[in-house]
Every structure is written in structure tokens, then in C-alpha cells.
Structure 1
Amino acid sequence: MSNDSSSTTAIVLDRRLDRDLLPTAPALMLSLTAEERTRSRYHFLTDDNTAVFLQLPRGTTLQDGDLLTATTGALLVRVVAKPELVLTIASDDPLNLLRAAYHLGNRHVSLEIAPTYLRLSPDPVLEGMLVHLGLQLVTEIAPFCPQGGAYSHHH
């Protein structure tokens, strides 16, 4: 889906807007995996094949629902968490989920944390550890929205 050497002139998206100040409905949707949402300078194609180039401050991590625009124009693009292969962890005991989050955090794993599940990229070694901890694991295709780090700036 992404293209580094596009001969077509891409629309440069270089501003992230405050979601609460939405002036108009987004014209385009840009579906990106969790890893793609960490790229601040990259060529992508929107869902309708419009070429765009992200030119955001280095270290920017986009979140599902973020709005992007070009300084030079009124085009509005909404970032969407693209469904991808993930490992979803569940347990009837919330304490087991906390234990799993602790162990995964010690390994600096990108982790989506929700009240009833944890979600991460599939990893056979981690899967073994999680099974040993007595958790239920499901490999599925779903949007992956990992937490920002403790020092990340998220709005």
C-alpha cells in the first residue's frame, strides 16, 4: 500500500489538528497499521489511492481518529487504525491481565490496554509466557492501538 518513490506529486500532510476543532468532515481516510502510525516522514496512499506524504515532527505517533491537513490547503485527512494481525489476551480474572501487562511492560512490548483485554503483535515467545500465566489467547485481525509511553504527548 505504501510507495516510497512515487512519481506523482503527493499531497504533503504536515499539520495535526485538534480533534475538537473539526471545521469540516474529513475528505479522505488514511488507514495505517500501528507501526505505520509511528512514521513521521513517509509516502502513503489514502483509502481512495490519493498519494500523500507525511511530513510531521520527528517522533510523532499518530492515533486512530487523528486529523491531518496540509498547511497550504483545506484538505482534511482522518487517520484510521487499520486492522492487522494481533494477539488478543483475555482472562476471567482481572488480576491475571494486570500480571500479563506487568510482564509485557518489563519487555517494553507495544501494548494496547483495555478493561477486558490486552492486545499486542504476535510473538511466539511471549505467547508461551502468556499461556503459562493462564491467559486466553486469540490471534485475530483487528485494529491495534498501543498505549503511548509514559512520556509521550497524546491529546
Structure 2
Amino acid sequence: MLKVVGRSEHYHGAVLDNVVLPYALRQKGRFRALSQSNLDVGFFLTRGDVLHDGDFLHTECGQVLQVVAEKEAVVTASCSDWQTFAKACYHMGNRHVPMAIGERWLRFQPDHVLQNMVEVLGLTCRAHQAEFTPENGAYHSSHGGAGGHSHHHEHDDHGHSHSGHHH
């Protein structure tokens, strides 16, 4: 089993394989998955640190894998004006549901109550398959920023290089 012990946003070198993961797994610290070529991969990462599409995973033995966000069932709600969008974000935020936010669009996991609410507020909803990477919570984000866009990552800061030691 390959043991993933670190992650980074940038890496220049050979990538052994991709690991396609849904949001439910990308938010866990300890789990097992198969890579695209069926390698057994164990994850031993900091809890609460969500993996993003394109992140690099560093294994104990110096190999590097790359995260691919699995396409999954989502609802994307959009509108043409900022006030309607702001109201929808406010009401969704009050429900504390995981939500990805873009420019006048928001995305959430399928839920007919939430979909009905944003439609009543004036947004148009589309159910489809897409990557789901919700915003990090402002109070429990390991990235420190309170207003963060979902792709803020710290650089590889756990104090050692992965290039020199092979187990």
C-alpha cells in the first residue's frame, strides 16, 4: 500500500498515477482508495484539510499522485443579478450546508428543499454531474483566511523534502 503523508499545490516532476475522489472522501484525513491503475492507496493526512482537484499527494516512499475531483450529482443555481445572488447565499449560509460559490452561481448536493428555496428566490437550477468543492468554513479552515476562495492552499510547509528519502 502507498501511504500518502503530505500534499502540495505545486510539484514539478513525474506523477505516478491519479486518484479520482468524490467530495465525501476528499474531506477525510484517514481513508483508503484505489488509484486509476488500481494501486492501493492509504491516506494519512491532517483532518479538516480538504483535497482539491489538481492537488499533489506525496507518499512515504517519495512517489507523487495527483487528485482528480470525481464528477458527482450536484445542483448548480444561477441568476443574472448580484442582489438575488446575495440573498440566496445568505439563506443558504443560514442552513450551514456545504456549498461551492462562483460568480452569480452556487452549487450544492441535491436537496429538493434547498432547490425549491433558491428557485423561489429567483435562481435557475440545473441538476447535473460536476466537480463539487465547497467553500472551507471560515472558523475551522486550516488555511487561515476567513473570506477564502475554495482554492487557497498553503505551500508544502511540513518541514522536510520528499525527494531525498526512499523507503
Pair in the same fold by TM > 0.5: yes
2:2–2:40 contact (8 Å) kept in structure 1: yes
Q: Which moved more, 1:86-95 or 1:55-64?
A: 55-64
1:61 — aligned with what?
A: 50
Please report how far the alpha carbon of residue 116 of structure 1 lies from its aligned counterpart in structure 2 after TM superposition: 3.4
2:81–2:104 contact (8 Å) kept in structure 1: no
2:13 — aligned with what?
A: 24
Is 2:71 the counterpart of 1:83? yes
In structure 1, the residue corresponding to 2:23 is in which secondary structure? coil
1:40 — aligned with what?
A: 29
Given the alignment, which residue of 124, 127, 135 partners 1:147? 135
Measure, in 1, the Cα distance between the counterparts of 2:128 and 2:101: 16
List gaps (5 residues or longer) in structure 1: 1-9
Please report how far the alpha carbon of residue 153 of structure 1 lies from its aligned counterpart in structure 2 after TM superposition: 2.3
Given the alignment, which residue of 125, 132, 137 partners 2:113? 125
Please report how far the alpha carbon of residue 47 of structure 1 lies from its aligned counterpart in structure 2 after TM superposition: 1.6
Identity %: 36
How many residues are matched? Answer: 143
- The runs of at least 4 consecutive aligned structure 1 residues that moved more than 6 Å come to none
Measure, in 1, the Cα distance between the counterparts of 2:133 and 2:48: 17
Q: TM-score, normalised by structure 1?
A: 0.86
Please report how far the alpha carbon of residue 143 of structure 1 lies from its aligned counterpart in structure 2 after TM superposition: 0.7
Deviation per residue, 1:80-130 (Å, 9 max, x gap) = 111000000011112211111111111101110111311010101111111
Q: TM-score, normalised by structure 2?
A: 0.81
1:15 — aligned with what?
A: 6
Measure, in 2, the Cα distance between the counterparts of 1:97 and 1:26: 40
2:165 — aligned with what?
A: none
Measure, in 2, the Cα distance between the counterparts of 1:133 and 1:51: 46
Please report how far the alpha carbon of residue 50 of structure 1 lies from its aligned counterpart in structure 2 after TM superposition: 1.0
1:6 — aligned with what?
A: none
Please report how far the alpha carbon of residue 53 of structure 1 lies from its aligned counterpart in structure 2 after TM superposition: 0.5
Structural RMSD (CA):
1.3
